[in-house]
Amino acid sequence: MKYNHVMRTSCLAALICLSLSAVSLANGPVTDSAKASDPAFSVPVVSNPIPNEAIKDLEIVEDQGRWLVSDKALEQYGIREADHAKGTYWFRLPKARNGSTAWQNENVQLTLPGRAVSGGRTINIRHVRRPLGISYVLGNGTTEKNELLPPSQPVHTVPELREVQDAAPAAVKEGKMGTVLFWDPVMKEDANLPSLQTHQPVMSPCAFRLTESGIELRNPDFDMLASTYTSKGYAMWPLLDNNFNPKLTHQILSNSRLQDTMVRQLVGYALLYDFKGYNIDFENINYSDKDALTAFVAKISQACHAYGIKLSMDVTPLSDSPNWSLVYDRAALAPHLDYLMVMAYDQFGRSSAKAGPVASYPWVERAVQNTIDLVPPSKVLLGMPLYMRLWYESSDGRDLPKDIRDWPAVVGAPPMKGVKYGEAKTEAAETPALPMLVQVVTAEQENARRAKQPVIMPVELDGETYKRRVLPRHIKTAPKKLTTTPSTSSAHKGSGKSKLFVRTLTMADSEDILKAYKDYVVWNDDLQLYYLELPLTTGTVKIWFEDEKSLKAKAGLVQAYGLGGAAFWRKGFEPLHFWQRFAKHELT
């Protein structure tokens, strides 16, 4: 009996270990710890374009679409400064849309779009004037000025934000993808952004961050950005992040009063800028804070839904990483969320010691399957990457030049098996490839080549064997200069000078490599990715490409599993034709 008990215990322990290992292996190496320093996920600082000249009295100054006023002039409406250093002002919340008074009359500090000037601040009221209850008169452009209209009586109490109801409900668009969200960390106005005729197009600027004193707005000119996206038909669901900081996140999750302050701020900003939702992106959280995280999300959800604000949350694919995956109680979070975004990318992250794809099809499909075991499929949005990694296994310890025109010569012939880039026709026409420029070999070089007989070498590539003829062939290319971002650190591949260098490569930049080395790019049907293995005189380049063909394959999982839609990291990484080809044909 005792022996059987020991055996059962041992088998159970082994089964648990095996299960955890299976989860880990299914999702590739856990390398998320380097995500905070990864250029692919960086959020740049947004500069303030508002002029720094002070505005006098009640005057409204027009500047590139902005209506600029002095914050001193706003005091007559009761809008008074709360924190000069942060540019925040006091407001009160109205009764919730569902009739709840739980948050009514609660004071909240909000940052208005503006900048500090001599003696105060200049505020842009162009689009926030309605929830602020501001009246004004516009001149005729000759003698009369644009001015604020003072209220009949000065307001001495903290003003209540007004909820601005849409004049008419937005027309419901047909779309096979449901909700389609684009994350936008750069937050630049894009007048050329096309409207997306999908069921619900969403833009999620990375505008808000948790701090030890509340929520920080990271764009001083956010009013104009919100207006630009809204005019294009995109619903605004700004992203709220924790800066990948587990210590700060623990402090917030342990402070109920601070959480209440943040909840009021989220509601206030949504009323001020007419947000339709929020996207929560809390990552790298202590596993011990798992239940507290769920409780905080539930608190945000209760307030947001009361005011008609949708709530979504980003989670990683299921793995055995406590801080980056297991901390999300997906089944417990789902009832509080409208959508849960599966960030199905970085299968092999920038800090990985082994080269590999960012998001192969089998890995992404397993991420979907593991998620819908815990969350209703209709609440799941599949996150897809618009970037990839360039892996360079250097034999001399030095990285590749940034400009591919300066790359060393190719020393191996193209693979003899597989569908090469540009050969397989897709629904969207491929961009014409640039011709390869082959360097003429001199007689001296030819004699040297003949001294060494060609060798037929079998090469193993993702489970398939190719026969590659190794010859001293020199190939040069001349495409335009790339803007890839090299890694700030590299992993040693072995002893001596051998070293592995990693770069983030956007879809837009990758097209130049695809064109220049198209004869070396082969479609991998199992991974549903184009793959490049380029033998150079100083090492080997490996790239698993994300392009319209690979994205189309992954997008098919949305229909196959009945998911709620898709999301893309990130806006700005895509080529110009992305909106006219892939987005137009696959997202609508």
Alpha-carbon gap, residue 209 to 243, rounded angstroms: 7
> How many residues in the chain?
588
Q: What is the pLDDT of residue 171?
A: 62
| DSSP code of residue 334 | G
User: Does residue 325 lie within any of the structural domains?
Assistant: yes
Instruction: List all residues 6 or more positions away from 132 whose beta carbon is below 8 Å from its beta carbon.
Output: 74, 77, 79, 125, 159, 161, 162, 272
Cα–Cα dist 60/139, whole Å = 10
CA 50 from chain center: how many Å?
A: 27
C-alpha 540: how far from chain center: 29
Contact 238, 278 (CB under 8 A): yes
- State the Cα–Cα distance between residues 322 and 285, nearest whole angstrom: 8
Domain assignment present for residue 170? The answer is: no
Rounded to 10 degrees, what is the CA torsion of 415, 416, 417, 420? Answer: 60
- The per-residue pLDDT for 105 is 97
What is the identity of the amino acid at 424? Answer: A
**Residue 440 in domain:** yes
Helix axis angle, 256-273 relative to 222-231, nearest 10°? 60
Which of 110, 132, 149 is the last residue in one of the domains?
A: 149
**Which of these, 526, 516, 491, 378, lies nearest to 438 by C-alpha position?**
516
pLDDT of residue 32: 59
Based on the domain organization, do 135 and 215 belong to the same domain?
Answer: no
Same domain, 375 and 403: no
- C-alpha distances (whole Å) from 403 to each of 439, 491, 512, 574 are 18, 22, 11, 20
How would DSSP label each residue in 6-25? HHHHHHHHHHHHHHHHHHHH
Give the pLDDT confidence score for residue 513 in this predicted structure: 97
Residue 89: domain span: 61-149
Beta-carbon count within 10 A of 432 CB: 8
pLDDT tens per residue across span 212-270: 999 999 999 999 999 999 999 999 999 999 999 999 999 999 999 999 999 999 999 99
Q: Where are the alpha helices (DSSP H) in 1-117?
A: 2-26, 71-74
Domain boundary among 149, 166, 189: 149
CATH number of the domain residue 276 falls in: 3.20.20.80
Please say which residue of 107, 128, 149 terminates a domain. Answer: 149
Handedness of CA 537, 540, 546, 550 (dihedral sign): positive
* Domain match, 343 and 479 both: no
Separation CA 323–CA 547 (nearest Å): 31
Question: Are 121 and 268 in the same domain?
Answer: no
Residues 333 and 399 in one domain: no
Shared domain for 372 and 399, answered yes or no, is: no
Q: With a cut of 70, which residues of the chain have pLDDT below it?
A: 1-33, 141-143, 166-172, 424-496
pLDDT tens track for 352-363: 999 999 999 999
Q: Are residues 122 and 74 in the same domain?
A: yes
Query: What whole-number distance in Å separates Cα of residue 369 and Cα of residue 318?
Result: 10
DSSP symbols for 242-311: -TT-HHHHHHHHT-HHHHHHHHHHHHHHHHHHT--EEEEE--S--GGGHHHHHHHHHHHHHHHHHTT-EE
Q: Is residue 211 part of a domain?
A: yes
The answer to the question of residue 563 being in a domain is: yes
Do 104 and 239 lie in one domain? The reply is: no
Do 296 and 376 belong to one domain?
yes
Closest alpha carbon to 535 in 452, 442, 470:
470
Pairing relation of β-strands 310-315 and 277-281? parallel
Q: Give the ranges where 126-283 is alpha helix by DSSP (H).
A: 129-132, 222-231, 246-253, 256-273
The answer to whether position 413 is within a domain reads yes
State the pLDDT at residue 197. 86
| Residues 381 and 435 grouped into a single domain | no
Same domain, 564 and 535: no
| 106/220 same-domain check | no
For the range 52-55, what are the long-range contacts, defined as Cβ-Cβ under 8 Å and sequence gap of 24 or more? Answer: 52/115, 52/116, 52/117, 52/122, 53/117, 53/122, 54/117, 54/118, 54/119, 54/120, 54/122, 55/117, 55/122
Q: Is residue 33 part of a domain?
A: no
What is the rounded end-to-end Cα distance, in angstroms, of the chain?
64
Number of domains the chain contains: 3
Q: What is the pLDDT of residue 87?
A: 94
E-assigned strand segments in 377-526: 380-385, 387-394, 437-438, 455-461, 464-470, 475-476, 485-486, 491-492, 499-506, 521-524
**Within-domain flag for 498:** yes
